[in-house]
Chain A
Amino acid sequence: MVKPGQIDVIKQGKRPPEEFSPDKLHNSIIATCLSVRTPEGQAQDIAKTVTLGVMNWCETHPEITSADIRRQAQRIMKTLHPDAAYLYKNYKTII
């Protein structure tokens, strides 16, 4: 996977910024796709497309927030798998 330049993810509250991790995003997309019972191969393809899309978007933004990543990932995923995109968007608002 292409490694992006130094992109800091600003965290909520007093937590220090951390470096953007494409692998973390990739894994979370796969987990979301599998949660909606997507076949594993398709989940891998979606995760790859979404991660690359988010990385492209990040190139013009040296500082981003977790919410930005989630929003961009959801926007790209929506065209590939609307169900997974819905769950990804609403993950933090289930409880």
Chain B
Amino acid sequence: MTPVTISSLATIIFAAIIHASFQLSVSVLTLLSGHSIGKKTAQRKIFRMSNSFVLGVAMTTLLLISSISYFLSLFIHHVTSAEQLVAAISSGMMFGLGIAIWTFYFRRQPGTSLWLPRNFAEYLNKRTKKTKNSIESFALGIISVIAEIIFIIAPIIAASLAIITLPNPFLQIISIAIYVIVSTLPLFVVIVLIGSGRSISNLQRWREDHKRFLQFASGGSLLILAAFLFVDRVIGVISYGGNLW
């Protein structure tokens, strides 16, 4: 493995971990499970609905990362020094988003209210309450990713940039799969915990107790990734001989 491949794989995994630390999908899944249990829905149906939700999240993430990788590869292969340009822009973006996460990702009030406009959060709340089957859960998963796109776009661009510099298509596909699996891991953890009989209020209490740490970790990790991307892909490209391919 060349240093470029190693740094690309590290970037993809780190970006996926940052993506996984974002909370909207976890919040919606917690709420969905709570409503379903409250309505005396059969455990098997709750499991099916939760899995459909995760499938919706995974599918949207997959489509986003694949399309961004595709467009970046087109752009970078046709414009001189485009990789440095894209890396510099995404570093700046991640730096800004890292600070934004530290500042307002969670609202300053009890609970785990996110930065979302309250009208939209209320809409999601109502939508979650009305969700009764797997298809609606799947759609809810899609909405929860799209609603948080302003934050998840940064790690997705960083990962896409790393994916297109991998030496062969097989490795690229594997990397996309790794990204999707790692970024949806917290949702699987929630499904397992709820499936094993853990109370929703315990989950929510844990999230509330650790929200400041999660906020600090997400924001800080984005800043670290921004710095790494800048050094590796903007300054460091010169040390690879000015071309990553």
Do residues A95 and B125 form an inter-chain contact, with CB atoms below 8 A? yes
Q: Which of A32, A36, A93 contacts B111 (CB 8 A)?
A: A93
Q: How far in angstroms is the closest Cβ of chain B from A68?
A: 17
Asked whether any CB of chain B lies closer than 8 Å to the CB of A92, the reply is yes
Cross-chain pair count, CB within 8 angstroms = 66
Q: Once the chains are docked, how many angstroms separate the CA of A93 from the CA of B107?
A: 9
Asked whether any CB of chain A lies closer than 8 Å to the CB of B92, the reply is no
Q: Once the chains are docked, how many angstroms separate the CA of A93 from the CA of B30?
A: 12
Asked whether any CB of chain A lies closer than 8 Å to the CB of B205, the reply is yes
Query: What's the dominant secondary structure at chain A's contact region?
Result: helix
Q: Once the chains are docked, how many angstroms separate the CA of A36 from the CA of B31?
A: 12
Asked whether any CB of chain B lies closer than 8 Å to the CB of A6, the reply is no
Q: Which of B27, B109, B200 contacts A87 (CB 8 A)?
A: B200
Do residues B200 and A90 form an inter-chain contact, with CB atoms below 8 A? no
Closest residue of chain A to B31, judged by CB?
A94
Do residues A95 and B24 form an inter-chain contact, with CB atoms below 8 A? yes
Do residues B201 and A93 form an inter-chain contact, with CB atoms below 8 A? no
Contact A36-B200, Cβ < 8 Å, known A90-B208, A94-B27: yes
Asked whether any CB of chain B lies closer than 8 Å to the CB of A35, the reply is yes
Asked whether any CB of chain A lies closer than 8 Å to the CB of B28, the reply is yes
Q: How far in angstroms is the closest Cβ of chain A from B41?
A: 10
Q: Which of B38, B109, B121, B208 contacts A95 (CB 8 A)?
A: B121
Asked whether any CB of chain A lies closer than 8 Å to the CB of B197, the reply is yes
Do residues A83 and B113 form an inter-chain contact, with CB atoms below 8 A? no
Q: Once the chains are docked, how many angstroms separate the CA of A93 from the CA of B114?
A: 8
Interface residues of A in 56-95 (CB under 8 A from B): 83-84, 86-87, 90, 92-95
Q: Which of A35, A92, A95 contacts B116 (CB 8 A)?
A: A95
Q: How far in angstroms is the closest Cβ of chain B from A70?
A: 13
Q: How far in angstroms is the closest Cβ of chain A from B34?
A: 4
Do residues B201 and A34 form an inter-chain contact, with CB atoms below 8 A? no
Q: Once the chains are docked, how many angstroms separate the CA of A93 from the CA of B125?
A: 10
Do residues B39 and A31 form an inter-chain contact, with CB atoms below 8 A? yes
Do residues A95 and B113 form an inter-chain contact, with CB atoms below 8 A? yes
Interface size bracket, B side: 20 to 34
Q: How far in angstroms is the closest Cβ of chain A from B125?
A: 6
Interface residues of B in 90-119 (CB under 8 A from A): 109-114, 116
Q: Which residues of B contact A14 (CB under 8 A)?
A: none
Q: Once the chains are docked, how many angstroms separate the CA of A62 from the CA of B113?
A: 31
Contact A83-B202, Cβ < 8 Å, known A93-B111, A95-B121: yes
- Closest CB pairs A-B (n = 9): A93-B111, A31-B38, A35-B38, A83-B201, A87-B201, A35-B34, A93-B113, A95-B27, A90-B111
Q: 29 A-B residue contacts at CB 8 Å?
A: A31-B39, A34-B38, A34-B40, A35-B35, A35-B38, A35-B201, A36-B200, A36-B201, A37-B37, A37-B197, A37-B199, A83-B199, A83-B201, A84-B201, A86-B201, A86-B204, A86-B205, A87-B200, A90-B111, A90-B204, A92-B122, A93-B109, A93-B113, A94-B31, A94-B34, A94-B113, A94-B125, A95-B24, A95-B27
| Residues of B participating in the A interface, judged by any CB pair closer than 8 Å | 24, 27-28, 30-31, 34-35, 37-40, 109-114, 116, 121-122, 124-125, 197, 199-202, 204-205, 208
